[in-house]
Amino acid sequence: MENLDELERQQWWDQIEKALDNEEIDHFRAEFLELHPYDQAQIFIEQSKKIRMQIYTYLSPDEMAEVFENIELDDIDSILTEMEPRFAADILAEMALDDAVDILNSLEQNEVASFLAIMNAKSANEIKDLLHYEEKTSGSIMTTEFVRVKSSMTIREALNHLRKEAPDAETIYYVYVIDDDKHLVGVISLRDIIISEEDWYVSDVMSDRIVSVPAGEDQESAAKMMRDYDLLALPVVDFQNHLLGIITVDDIMDVIQEEASEDYSKLAAVSDMDKVDTGAWMAAKKRLPWLIILLFLGMLTASLIGRFEETLDKVALLAIFIPLIAGMAGNTGTQALAVAVRGIATGESDQEGKLKILAREAGTGLITGLCCGVLITVIIYLWKDEFYLGLLVGISIMLTLIVATLAGSLIPLLMHKMKVDPAVASGPFITTINDIISILIYFGMATAFMDVLL
């Protein structure tokens, strides 16, 4: 399927390229505009600057706006700077409002100001209203291009109003009902409108069971609501329940994907998930800060082992099991961490008590610790014929697993309590902390029971 798409796109593009080469505007427009805007954007972005400059002269700002709505934010900055500022401003004005705001939010402040200055006043004002919402809040991803009606309208009036508003609205499938003071009082779906009699009143058909989200609320909460309630759009309100805008499902799909990618990359300690196509320098720049922090944490572990040098000198065999014990601590900690972070992200941990989670993790640590501890004792006894060494490693692993599992869940819960994003406690971070804990346990016990081992 994917290859076919690729092939089809290639064939289509060959046509389009020929049209560009021969400077056949009409042929180019006929072929290019027939494509879905997503495909237009894919093709557009692959072109050389020279060809893109040609395309700008062939398409109207209105047509370019649709292309722009489908270009990734990372790519758009360089494109904006290569084009005539006036043309760029016109494109931004024609775009879906929320997409234009996303783009402007990614630019430098003076760039934003200059675009807004040359843009038509109406669009500039609409955009300004949306620019001040903090990143990742519900307000920052909403649009104000939606349809609202009064509850006193008839279905016929509502439908006519809808037809008039349709070209500019982000969605017409939900229509929001407001009172004279712009309070959100109800919602009516196009489905309800279609199956109602034309002379009924909106107030008879609308649902006043409305789910809404405050503008300052995290976008993740909005995503959870839309997912739970199966909504295509979610109204955004201020603290007095005035209707400010709506969030549509296409943007929420992106939010769900982003938030999940973010948690994932944090678990792997990649500060900002590199796209596969970034170069080595860029990738190294993103990963190095983490690696260096972890290097220093690792030095801490090293200096800790250094304090047990005497013990090590006596029983060099002890060193053999350092990676095993530290590794197990890291693994179980990462597991517990992942479960806790996801639980917090999906809101499940709020319903359950935090103490209950910790009690459960302690239990899990005890069970897994016992199993692994007994197993390793037996293995080392059979393999090295060293019962006491086996017992030492076994008990260390047991204690380590209990403590590491607890730490893996306690740390994100504490962070959440302190309003820090728990996903920051990345896998390697927890792993390093657990390295230290496990080595303290292992060498502490070895030093205490040195007599038995020698």
Question: Taking CB under 8 A as the rule, does residue 301 contact a second copy?
Answer: yes
Question: Taking CB under 8 A as the rule, does residue 36 contact a second copy?
Answer: yes
Interface pattern 336-365 for a second copy (x via CB under 8 A)? -xxxx-xx---xxxxxx----x-xxxxxx-
Dist CA 246 CA 144 (whole Å): 7
Q: Within positions 156 to 185, which residues make up the interface with a second copy, using CB under 8 A?
A: 159, 162-163, 166-167, 172-173
CB of 111 to a second copy, least distance (A): 27
Which long-range contacts does 363-371 make (Cβ < 8 Å, 24+ apart)? 364/336, 364/405, 365/332, 365/336, 365/401, 365/402, 365/403, 365/404, 365/405, 365/406, 366/402, 368/332, 368/401, 368/405, 369/397, 369/398, 369/399, 369/400, 369/401, 369/402, 369/405, 370/398
Q: Within positions 110 to 129, which residues make up the interface with a second copy, using CB under 8 A?
A: none
The region of 11-19, 60-68, 78-86, 207-215 touching a second copy under the rule CB under 8 A is 207-215
Q: Are 173 and 124 in contact (CB under 8 A)?
A: no
Interface pattern 415-434 for a second copy (x via CB under 8 A)? ------------xx--xx--
Give, in degrees to the nearest 5, the angle at Cα 391 between 390 and 394.
85
Cα–Cα distances in Å, from 216 out to 5, 160, 249, 266?
41, 33, 19, 24
CB of 114 to a second copy, least distance (A): 30
Dist CA 341 CA 414 (whole Å): 11
Q: Within positions 362 to 401, which residues make up the interface with a second copy, using CB under 8 A?
A: 362-364, 366-368, 371-372, 375-376, 379, 383, 401
The region of 79-87, 103-111, 117-125, 305-313 touching a second copy under the rule CB under 8 A is 305-313
Q: Which of 155, 326, 403, 441 binds a second copy (CB under 8 A)?
A: 326
Cα–Cα distances in Å, from 30 out to 16, 26, 71, 399?
9, 6, 21, 71
Cβ-based neighbour number of residue 255 at 10 Å: 20
184/439 with CB nearer a second copy: 439
Q: Within positions 60 to 99, which residues make up the interface with a second copy, using CB under 8 A?
A: 70
Q: Are 316 and 454 in contact (CB under 8 A)?
A: no
Question: Taking CB under 8 A as the rule, does residue 143 contact a second copy?
Answer: no
Question: Taking CB under 8 A as the rule, does residue 35 contact a second copy?
Answer: yes
Question: Taking CB under 8 A as the rule, does residue 330 contact a second copy?
Answer: yes
- Give 358: exposed, middle or buried? Use CB within 10 Å, 0-12, 13-18, 19+: middle
The region of 10-18, 57-65, 105-113, 326-334 touching a second copy under the rule CB under 8 A is 326-334
Cβ-based neighbour number of residue 262 at 10 Å: 17
Q: Within positions 212 to 271, which residues make up the interface with a second copy, using CB under 8 A?
A: 213-214, 217, 221, 226-230, 232, 249-250, 252-254, 256-257, 260-261, 263-265, 267-270
CB of 277 to a second copy, least distance (A): 6
Q: Within positions 265 to 294, which residues make up the interface with a second copy, using CB under 8 A?
A: 265, 267-270, 273-281, 283-284, 287-288, 290-292, 294
Residue 244, both tokens? 């400010």
Question: Taking CB under 8 A as the rule, does residue 299 contact a second copy?
Answer: yes
Question: Taking CB under 8 A as the rule, does residue 47 contact a second copy?
Answer: no
Q: Which of 30, 73, 117, 320 binds a second copy (CB under 8 A)?
A: 320
- Count of residues that bind a second copy according to CB under 8 A: 126
Q: Are 236 and 138 in contact (CB under 8 A)?
A: yes
CB of 388 to a second copy, least distance (A): 17
CB of 93 to a second copy, least distance (A): 20
CB of 223 to a second copy, least distance (A): 8
Question: Taking CB under 8 A as the rule, does residue 137 contact a second copy?
Answer: no
CB of 212 to a second copy, least distance (A): 9
CB of 180 to a second copy, least distance (A): 25
